[in-house]
């Protein structure tokens, strides 16, 4: 199998090259492409450790058609411009313009394949609640250090007695212990409590519009 990098321009199923925003699609041959479940990453929360989110956000005004486009792209980022146009009542070129505008305005921040962690051996899911030592810009310093640790997929700074909620994935209990030990060793971390997630009741990264 070969690897190809695609960006949204003309049609989302057959994308042309464009810098910065990309979709990684694996296909068996040129005539028979496999369709992969994908997700649109929307800028909606201040998460440390992943894609950096600016401290101040200015909300973008979205009309009904923008919301339809975002909903359809979150459900399937390979959906054709024609199909979106049929839903919105607009031409493919107008939909194409709107998608690119949403990218330029930072509403759509990227395209990526959605991977089930259980299918790739990451069977251990956990959450750690971390308290840090207060100091100048301590949330940024601690959050960025924790976010760089392998196995940490989200870091949230909280309001209240607990400073951070840290989301973890691991393939074994030994790997989970190594991850937790790594951020406990951070000088600015005062203490942490880690909880093993027994079942995923709901896990949905789409943004409801």
pTM score above 0.95: no
Mean pLDDT of 129-153: 93
Neighbours of 154 (CB within 10 A): 16
Distance CA 109, CA 107 (A): 6
Tens digit of pLDDT for each residue in 86-118? 999 999 999 999 999 999 999 999 888 888 888
Which of 30-34, 50-54, 110-114 has maximum average pLDDT? 110-114
Classify residue 203: in a domain, yes or no: no
In a domain, 159, yes or no: yes
* Nearest C-alpha neighbor of 8 from the set 101, 89, 71, 83: 101
Asked if residue 39 belongs to a domain, the reply is yes
Residues 139 and 75 in one domain: no
Gap between the Cα atoms of 11 and 14, Å rounded: 5
**The pLDDT of residue 10:** 36
Bridge partners, 7 (sequence order): 16
Last residue of a domain, one of 83, 113, 143: 113
Q: Compute the distance between CA of residue 6 and CA of residue 20 in angstroms, rounded to an integer.
A: 11
Q: Which two tokens stand for residue 72?
A: 């359809």
User: Which of the four pLDDT bands, split at 50, 70 and 90, describes residue 56?
Assistant: low
What is the DSSP secondary structure assignment for residue 193, as one 8-state letter?
A: E
CATH number, residue 135:
3.30.70.920
Residues 47 and 143 in one domain: no
Q: Left if phi > 0, otherwise alpha if psi is -120 to 50, otherwise beta: which for 104?
A: alpha
Q: What is the pLDDT of residue 55?
A: 52
Between CA 38 and CA 115 the distance in angstroms is 9
Residues 130 and 107 in one domain: no
**CATH code at position 91:** 1.10.10.10
Residues in the chain: 209
| 152 alpha-carbon distance from chain centroid | 13
10 part of a folded domain? yes
**Residue 9 shares a structural domain with residue 104:** yes
Domain containing 188: what range?
117-196
- Band (26; pLDDT cuts 50, 70, 90): very low
Cα–Cα distance for residue pair 139/120, rounded to 1 Å: 32
Which of 40-54, 98-112, 176-190 bottoms out in mean pLDDT, i.e. has the lowest? Answer: 40-54
How many domains does the chain contain in total? 2
Average pLDDT, the chain: 78
Query: What does the alpha-carbon distance between residue 132 and residue 126 come to, in Å, rounded to a whole number?
Result: 19
Residue 202 lies in a domain: no
Q: Are residues 179 and 81 in the same domain?
A: no
């Amino acid at each position: 199998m070969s690897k190809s990098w695609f960006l949204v321009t003309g049609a989302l199923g057959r994308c042309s090259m464009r810098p910065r925003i990309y979709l990684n699609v694996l296909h068996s041959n040129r005539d028979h492409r496999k369709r992969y479940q994908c997700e649109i990453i929307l800028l909606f929360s201040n998460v440390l450790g992943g894609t950096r989110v600016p401290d101040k956000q200015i909300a973008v005004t979205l009309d009904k058609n923008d919301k339809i486009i975002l909903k359809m792209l979150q459900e399937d980022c390979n959906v054709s411009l024609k199909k979106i146009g049929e839903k919105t009542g607009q031409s493919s070129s107008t939909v194409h313009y709107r998608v690119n505008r949403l990218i330029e305005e930072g509403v759509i921040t990227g395209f990526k394949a959605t991977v089930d962690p259980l299918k790739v051996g990451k069977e251990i899911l956990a959450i750690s609640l971390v308290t840090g030592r207060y100091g100048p810009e301590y949330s940024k310093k601690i959050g960025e250090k924790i976010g760089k640790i392998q196995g940490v997929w989200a870091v949230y700074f909280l309001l209240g007695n607990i400073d951070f909620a840290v989301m973890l994935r691991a393939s074994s209990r030994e790997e989970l212990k190594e991850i937790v030990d790594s951020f406990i060793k951070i000088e600015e971390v005062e203490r942490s409590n880690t909880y093993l997630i027994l079942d995923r009741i709901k896990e949905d990264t789409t943004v409801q519009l």
